Copies of this chain bind each other. A is one copy, B any other.
């Protein structure tokens, strides 16, 4: 698993200040990072993130280990694979495709999660380090989890095909907003795309 550097520090290590706690500081840093990463990986400045979050730059290093760790934490915070994806997968193989699709499109319908995902995808498309970080995160945190739910051989490949469909559909629907796909009710879209995901994952006929 990718070390996200996102573990919260204990209060003992937190500098005294006006803040409510380490969780608030972490949240403020992530919010500032999201804005900065929207300018691309290179465009994001640690100094600007510290300024926007109203923290000392050394705190970012302490919380996230540096720019790479902060980038990973931005993805992790938006996708939450260890919490939400795992919860979807724990629901078993029955109807897994539509449930995965509903969860994924739900992320894109929440601006607080959609913009970080968009920022990360854009950064990774234009900077090799960000590309590498995204690849590692998707492989280790997302594909491996979904593959674990598939009974097929080469499950990672099928999981990735399923994921690639979801990403493309989210882009067309939420970023490029191309009708009629952008106007389709989410539940209907999740059912339609979900059937294809079940086909890829070999989970269509199975009932857990």
A: residues with CB less than 8 A from B are 38, 118, 121-122, 124-126, 131, 134-135, 138-139, 143, 154, 156-157, 160-161, 163-173, 175-181, 184, 192-193, 196, 199
Given A131-B176, A135-B177; A161-B124 close (CB under 8 Å)? no
Contact present for B177 and A172 (CB under 8 Å): no
Besides A125-B171, A157-B180, A163-B172, 20 more A-B contacts (Cβ < 8 Å) are A122-B122, A122-B125, A124-B175, A135-B177, A143-B178, A156-B180, A160-B172, A160-B178, A161-B169, A161-B181, A161-B192, A164-B171, A164-B172, A164-B173, A165-B165, A165-B168, A167-B171, A167-B172, A168-B170, A196-B199
A146 to chain B, nearest CB (A): 13
Given A131-B177, A168-B166, A178-B135; A184-B157 close (CB under 8 Å)? yes
Contact present for A193 and B161 (CB under 8 Å): yes
Q: How many copies does the complex hold?
A: 2
Task: Give the CA-CA distance A199 to B196 in the complex, in Å.
Answer: 9
A25 to chain B, nearest CB (A): 29
Q: Give the chain B neighbours of A169 by CB distance below 8 A.
A: 161, 164-165, 168
Contact of A181 among B125, B157, B196 (CB under 8 A): B157
A-B contact pairs, 16 of them (CB 8 A): A118-B125, A122-B122, A124-B175, A125-B176, A135-B176, A135-B178, A143-B178, A157-B180, A157-B184, A161-B169, A161-B193, A164-B172, A164-B173, A167-B168, A167-B171, A167-B172
